[in-house]
Amino acid sequence: MSEQKKIIHIVAGGPLDMIPELTHYPRDIVWIGVDRGVYYLLENGIKPDYSVGDFDSVSDEEWSFIEHNIQGFKKVLPEKDETDMELALMWAVQEEPEQIKIFGATGGRLDHFMANALMLSQFQNPNIKIEMIDKQNSLSLYYPGHYRVERDSEKKYISFIPLTKEIIDLSLTGFKYPLINRTVEFGSSLCISNELIKQSGNFSFKKGILLMIRSTD
Protein backbone atom coordinates (compact mmCIF):
# COMPACT_ATOMS: atom_id res chain seq x y z
CA MET A 1 0.00 0.00 0.00
CA SER A 2 1.40 3.41 -0.95
CA GLU A 3 2.05 5.98 1.77
CA GLN A 4 -0.69 8.58 2.10
CA LYS A 5 0.46 12.01 0.96
CA LYS A 6 0.36 14.85 3.44
CA ILE A 7 -1.93 17.87 3.39
CA ILE A 8 -0.46 21.29 4.15
CA HIS A 9 -2.38 24.33 5.40
CA ILE A 10 -0.72 27.76 5.19
CA VAL A 11 -2.06 30.57 7.38
CA ALA A 12 -0.99 34.13 6.54
CA GLY A 13 -1.68 37.37 8.39
CA GLY A 14 -4.65 38.74 6.46
CA PRO A 15 -7.74 40.19 8.18
CA LEU A 16 -8.88 37.79 10.88
CA ASP A 17 -12.56 38.25 10.02
CA MET A 18 -11.89 36.72 6.57
CA ILE A 19 -10.29 33.53 7.89
CA PRO A 20 -12.54 30.47 8.40
CA GLU A 21 -12.60 28.76 11.78
CA LEU A 22 -9.26 26.94 11.76
CA THR A 23 -10.18 24.54 14.56
CA HIS A 24 -12.80 22.97 12.28
CA TYR A 25 -10.03 21.41 10.20
CA PRO A 26 -8.32 18.13 11.17
CA ARG A 27 -5.19 18.46 13.29
CA ASP A 28 -3.33 15.62 11.53
CA ILE A 29 -2.09 17.92 8.79
CA VAL A 30 0.99 20.11 8.42
CA TRP A 31 0.44 23.73 9.46
CA ILE A 32 2.61 26.59 8.21
CA GLY A 33 2.38 30.00 9.84
CA VAL A 34 3.33 33.05 7.78
CA ASP A 35 4.23 36.18 9.74
CA ARG A 36 1.16 37.23 11.77
CA GLY A 37 -0.43 33.93 10.74
CA VAL A 38 1.84 32.26 13.30
CA TYR A 39 0.11 34.26 16.02
CA TYR A 40 -3.33 33.36 14.62
CA LEU A 41 -2.47 29.66 14.77
CA LEU A 42 -1.17 29.84 18.33
CA GLU A 43 -4.28 31.75 19.40
CA ASN A 44 -6.34 28.84 18.04
CA GLY A 45 -4.32 26.29 19.98
CA ILE A 46 -2.48 25.08 16.87
CA LYS A 47 1.31 24.88 16.98
CA PRO A 48 2.68 25.37 13.44
CA ASP A 49 5.08 22.78 12.07
CA TYR A 50 6.93 25.48 10.13
CA SER A 51 6.96 29.25 10.63
CA VAL A 52 8.39 31.96 8.41
CA GLY A 53 8.23 35.74 8.14
CA ASP A 54 9.87 39.04 8.94
CA PHE A 55 7.20 39.51 11.64
CA ASP A 56 6.99 43.24 11.03
CA SER A 57 3.19 43.07 11.35
CA VAL A 58 3.08 41.82 14.95
CA SER A 59 3.22 43.90 18.13
CA ASP A 60 5.99 43.53 20.70
CA GLU A 61 3.59 41.62 22.94
CA GLU A 62 2.56 39.27 20.13
CA TRP A 63 6.20 38.72 19.15
CA SER A 64 7.05 37.80 22.74
CA PHE A 65 4.16 35.30 22.71
CA ILE A 66 5.44 33.77 19.46
CA GLU A 67 9.02 33.49 20.73
CA HIS A 68 7.84 31.83 23.92
CA ASN A 69 5.75 29.20 22.09
CA ILE A 70 7.73 28.47 18.93
CA GLN A 71 11.24 27.11 18.53
CA GLY A 72 13.04 26.83 15.22
CA PHE A 73 11.02 29.35 13.24
CA LYS A 74 12.62 31.12 10.28
CA LYS A 75 12.75 34.87 10.74
CA VAL A 76 13.79 36.67 7.55
CA LEU A 77 14.77 40.26 6.88
CA PRO A 78 12.06 42.59 5.52
CA GLU A 79 14.43 43.53 2.68
CA LYS A 80 14.23 40.41 0.52
CA ASP A 81 13.21 39.40 -3.01
CA GLU A 82 10.48 36.94 -1.98
CA THR A 83 7.39 37.68 0.06
CA ASP A 84 6.78 35.68 3.21
CA MET A 85 4.00 33.80 1.41
CA GLU A 86 6.31 32.88 -1.45
CA LEU A 87 8.87 31.46 0.98
CA ALA A 88 6.14 29.39 2.65
CA LEU A 89 4.88 28.06 -0.68
CA MET A 90 8.40 27.19 -1.80
CA TRP A 91 8.81 25.04 1.31
CA ALA A 92 5.34 23.51 1.01
CA VAL A 93 5.73 22.47 -2.62
CA GLN A 94 9.10 20.86 -1.91
CA GLU A 95 7.30 18.58 0.56
CA GLU A 96 5.26 17.17 -2.35
CA PRO A 97 1.90 17.13 -0.55
CA GLU A 98 -1.36 16.04 -2.08
CA GLN A 99 -3.02 19.35 -1.27
CA ILE A 100 -2.15 22.87 -0.09
CA LYS A 101 -4.80 25.17 1.36
CA ILE A 102 -4.00 28.83 1.98
CA PHE A 103 -5.81 31.02 4.52
CA GLY A 104 -5.34 34.66 5.46
CA ALA A 105 -4.10 35.62 2.00
CA THR A 106 -7.13 37.69 0.88
CA GLY A 107 -8.70 40.91 2.11
CA GLY A 108 -6.79 43.89 3.40
CA ARG A 109 -4.14 45.27 1.04
CA LEU A 110 -4.90 44.75 -2.64
CA ASP A 111 -1.23 44.47 -3.61
CA HIS A 112 -0.78 41.55 -1.23
CA PHE A 113 -3.96 39.87 -2.46
CA MET A 114 -3.07 40.25 -6.16
CA ALA A 115 0.46 38.98 -5.58
CA ASN A 116 -0.85 35.97 -3.65
CA ALA A 117 -3.53 35.13 -6.24
CA LEU A 118 -1.17 35.41 -9.22
CA MET A 119 1.54 33.52 -7.32
CA LEU A 120 -0.61 30.40 -7.55
CA SER A 121 0.42 30.05 -11.21
CA GLN A 122 4.09 29.97 -10.25
CA PHE A 123 3.64 27.01 -7.93
CA GLN A 124 0.89 25.11 -9.74
CA ASN A 125 1.71 21.43 -10.02
CA PRO A 126 -0.48 18.76 -11.67
CA ASN A 127 0.11 16.51 -8.66
CA ILE A 128 -0.68 19.15 -6.01
CA LYS A 129 -4.05 20.83 -5.60
CA ILE A 130 -3.51 24.40 -4.37
CA GLU A 131 -6.48 26.40 -3.12
CA MET A 132 -6.80 29.84 -1.51
CA ILE A 133 -9.74 30.09 0.89
CA ASP A 134 -11.54 32.73 2.93
CA LYS A 135 -15.03 32.90 4.42
CA GLN A 136 -16.53 34.18 1.19
CA ASN A 137 -14.35 32.83 -1.63
CA SER A 138 -12.10 30.04 -2.80
CA LEU A 139 -9.56 30.39 -5.62
CA SER A 140 -7.82 27.68 -7.59
CA LEU A 141 -5.86 27.48 -10.87
CA TYR A 142 -6.28 25.14 -13.80
CA TYR A 143 -4.20 24.22 -16.82
CA PRO A 144 -5.60 22.80 -20.09
CA GLY A 145 -7.72 19.70 -19.61
CA HIS A 146 -11.17 18.42 -18.63
CA TYR A 147 -12.50 19.02 -15.11
CA ARG A 148 -15.56 18.18 -13.03
CA VAL A 149 -16.92 20.62 -10.46
CA GLU A 150 -19.45 19.81 -7.74
CA ARG A 151 -22.15 22.11 -6.40
CA ASP A 152 -21.27 23.93 -3.17
CA SER A 153 -24.28 25.10 -1.18
CA GLU A 154 -22.19 27.78 0.54
CA LYS A 155 -20.39 29.16 -2.52
CA LYS A 156 -22.85 28.89 -5.40
CA TYR A 157 -21.31 31.45 -7.76
CA ILE A 158 -18.51 30.29 -10.04
CA SER A 159 -16.36 32.63 -12.10
CA PHE A 160 -13.59 31.82 -14.56
CA ILE A 161 -10.89 34.43 -15.15
CA PRO A 162 -8.12 34.09 -17.79
CA LEU A 163 -4.63 34.62 -16.45
CA THR A 164 -3.05 34.37 -19.89
CA LYS A 165 -3.62 36.35 -23.10
CA GLU A 166 -6.47 34.02 -24.02
CA ILE A 167 -8.19 30.78 -23.10
CA ILE A 168 -8.74 28.59 -26.15
CA ASP A 169 -11.84 26.41 -26.62
CA LEU A 170 -13.39 26.92 -23.21
CA SER A 171 -16.51 24.80 -22.76
CA LEU A 172 -18.89 24.82 -19.78
CA THR A 173 -21.60 22.17 -19.40
CA GLY A 174 -24.09 21.85 -16.57
CA PHE A 175 -23.91 25.60 -15.97
CA LYS A 176 -26.65 28.25 -16.11
CA TYR A 177 -24.65 29.99 -18.85
CA PRO A 178 -23.00 27.25 -20.96
CA LEU A 179 -20.18 27.74 -23.45
CA ILE A 180 -18.96 25.64 -26.34
CA ASN A 181 -15.35 25.95 -27.56
CA ARG A 182 -15.19 29.68 -26.84
CA THR A 183 -12.04 31.77 -26.92
CA VAL A 184 -12.00 34.07 -23.87
CA GLU A 185 -9.47 36.89 -23.80
CA PHE A 186 -7.59 38.27 -20.82
CA GLY A 187 -9.65 40.97 -19.13
CA SER A 188 -12.99 39.61 -20.35
CA SER A 189 -15.93 39.48 -17.92
CA LEU A 190 -17.76 36.83 -19.97
CA CYS A 191 -17.39 34.09 -17.35
CA ILE A 192 -18.18 36.06 -14.21
CA SER A 193 -20.85 34.89 -11.73
CA ASN A 194 -22.03 31.65 -13.33
CA GLU A 195 -23.89 28.90 -11.47
CA LEU A 196 -24.35 25.14 -11.69
CA ILE A 197 -27.86 24.01 -12.63
CA LYS A 198 -27.21 20.40 -11.57
CA GLN A 199 -25.32 18.70 -8.78
CA SER A 200 -22.19 18.83 -10.90
CA GLY A 201 -20.87 20.30 -14.12
CA ASN A 202 -17.82 20.17 -16.34
CA PHE A 203 -15.41 22.61 -17.90
CA SER A 204 -12.58 22.13 -20.35
CA PHE A 205 -10.16 24.17 -22.43
CA LYS A 206 -7.16 23.56 -24.69
CA LYS A 207 -4.77 26.43 -24.00
CA GLY A 208 -4.07 28.99 -21.27
CA ILE A 209 -4.21 29.26 -17.48
CA LEU A 210 -7.63 29.68 -15.87
CA LEU A 211 -8.44 30.96 -12.41
CA MET A 212 -11.67 29.60 -10.90
CA ILE A 213 -13.27 31.60 -8.10
CA ARG A 214 -16.18 30.20 -6.09
CA SER A 215 -18.04 32.85 -4.09
CA THR A 216 -21.02 33.70 -1.95
CA ASP A 217 -22.67 37.08 -1.38
| Three-class secondary structure of residue 85 per DSSP | helix
Q: State the pLDDT at residue 121.
A: 82
Give the tens place of pLDDT for each residue, 27-78.
778 999 998 899 899 999 998 888 888 777 778 887 888 878 876 555 544 4
On whether residue 59 sits in a domain, the answer given is: yes
pLDDT digits (tens, 9 = 90+) for 160-171: 999 999 999 999
Q: Strand locations in 70-143, DSSP E?
A: 74-75, 99-103, 129-133, 137-142
- Mean pLDDT (whole number) for 195-207: 96
**194: pLDDT confidence band, cut at 50, 70 and 90?**
very high
pLDDT at residue 59, as a whole number: 80
Task: Give the domain range for residue 128.
Answer: 7-135
pLDDT of amino acid 151: 92
Task: Single out the residue in 135, 167, 196 at which a domain terminates.
Answer: 135
One domain for residues 180 and 82: no
Check whether residue 17 and residue 123 sit in a common domain.
yes
152 and 46 part of one domain: no
Q: How confident is the model at residue 203 (pLDDT cuts 50, 70, 90)?
A: very high
Q: What is the pLDDT of residue 80?
A: 54
Asked if 194 contacts 177 with a C-beta cutoff of 8 angstroms, the reply is yes
Q: Is the pLDDT of residue 82 over 60?
A: yes
Q: Is residue 87 part of a domain?
A: yes
pLDDT at res. 4: 55
Which of 135, 150, 174 terminates a domain? The answer is 135
Q: Domain containing 28 — which CATH number?
A: 3.40.50.10240
Q: Which of 196, 98, 86 is nearest to 148 (CA)?
A: 196
Same domain membership, residue 120 and residue 53 = yes
Same domain assignment for residues 103 and 37:
yes
pLDDT at 104 over 60: yes
Cα–chain center distance at 121: 11
> Is residue 31, in this structure, part of any structural domain at all?
yes
Q: Residue 195 has what pLDDT?
A: 96
Are 42 and 67 members of one domain?
A: yes
Could you tell me which of 93, 76, 104, 129 has the C-alpha nearest to residue 10?
Answer: 104
DSSP summary character for residue 5: P
Question: Helix count (H) and strand count (E) of the chain?
Answer: 4, 14
What pLDDT is recorded for position 1?
A: 34
Residue 37 in domain? yes
Pairing outcome for strands 74-75 and 99-103: unpaired
Q: What would the mean pLDDT of 93-111 be, rounded to a whole number? A: 89
Q: What is the pLDDT of residues 127-149, one digit of tens each?
A: 888 999 999 999 999 999 999 99
Question: Domain total for the chain?
Answer: 2
Q: Is residue 1 part of a domain?
A: no
Give the pLDDT band (50/70/90) at residue 2: very low
How much of the chain, in percent, has pLDDT values that exceed 90? 51
Out of 135, 151, 183, pick the residue that ends a domain. 135
Q: Do 110 and 55 share a structural domain?
A: yes
Instruction: Give domain status of residue 20, yes or no.
Output: yes
129 & 158 share domain: no
Please tell me whether residues 127 and 183 are part of one structural domain: no
- Statement to judge: residues 175 and 115 lie in one domain: no
Q: State the Cα–Cα distance between residues 85 and 187, nearest whole angstrom.
A: 26
117 and 159 part of one domain = no
Both 32 and 112 in one domain: the answer is yes
- pLDDT, one tens digit per residue, over 115-126 is 888 888 888 777
